[in-house]
Structure 1
Amino acid sequence: MKINVEVDIAESFAWHIDAAVTRLRYLYPDWSISADVAKVNVSVESDSQASLARREINYALYRERIRAEGAPLRELLLKSVMS
């Protein structure tokens, strides 16, 4: 029996949902994942996977936000080092 996990997403992470969901689909191809502006829904096989899904969704969003917000700084650093 499938377990549906619904994770509410803070507005400050809304821009990063698509990239995070894409990464999760690659990492967990057995999960059925859908998303909208304020939620990510995942269907998993067990309670332990439900807990893992919540953790991985939040981690993927946080990771994507850090990557996106740090990109301009990394670019500036590379330009200054390579010049």
Structure 2
Amino acid sequence: MEMSDHPYRPVFYIDVAPSLAEYLEPAAARLSYMEDAFSLEIEQCRVKALVKTEITKGEVERKLNHALYREKIRSESAELRGRFLQMMIET
């Protein structure tokens, strides 16, 4: 089997929607200590995945998207969490 036919490739690129670009740094940082199978390098709205095991591009994309949306939700709910904590302190 030639390398091009195999789902395992040592390096591949994943495009990220510009609307999620601001969450790339924290998402990549989180994945860097959670994942041994790959590492990520950010290149504007594109991620370079350096694969260390036979993980597929689809699996890395799924994990990256999960981390991106997790960061988006965390960021967007920060004010609400702060108000909730303040309310709990006051009671």
TM-score by length of 2: 0.78
* Structure 1 stretch displaced more, 36-45 or 65-74: 36-45
Equivalent-residue separation in structure 1 for 2:67 and 2:74 (angstroms): 10
**Alignment check: 8 A CA contact 1:6 1:41 kept:** yes
2:21 is equivalent to residue 14 of structure 1: yes
Which ranges of structure 2 fall in alignment gaps of 5 or more residues?
Answer: none
The answer (yes or no) to whether the contact 1:20–1:64 under 8 Å persists in 2 is yes
Secondary structure in 1 aligned to 2:56? helix
Of residues 57, 60, 72 in structure 2, which corresponds to 1:65?
72
- Give the Cα separation in 1 of the matches to 2:68 and 2:36: 18
Matched, 1:28 2:35: yes
Fraction of identical pairs, as percent: 32
- Larger RCO, structures 1/2 (Cα 8 Å, 6+ apart): 1
5+ residue gaps, structure 1, are: none
Cα distance between partner residues in 2 of 1:11 and 1:50:
20
Pairwise CA RMSD: 1.7
Q: Is 1:78 aligned to 2:85, yes or no?
A: yes
**Considering only CA atoms, is the larger Rg found in Structure 1 or Structure 2?**
2
In structure 2, what is the Cα distance between the partners aligned to 1:28 and 1:59? Answer: 13
TM-superposed deviation, 1:30: 4.0
Which has the larger helix fraction? 1
Matches of 2:37 and 2:63 in 1, distance apart? 14
Could you say which residue in structure 2 is the equivalent of 1:49?
A: 56
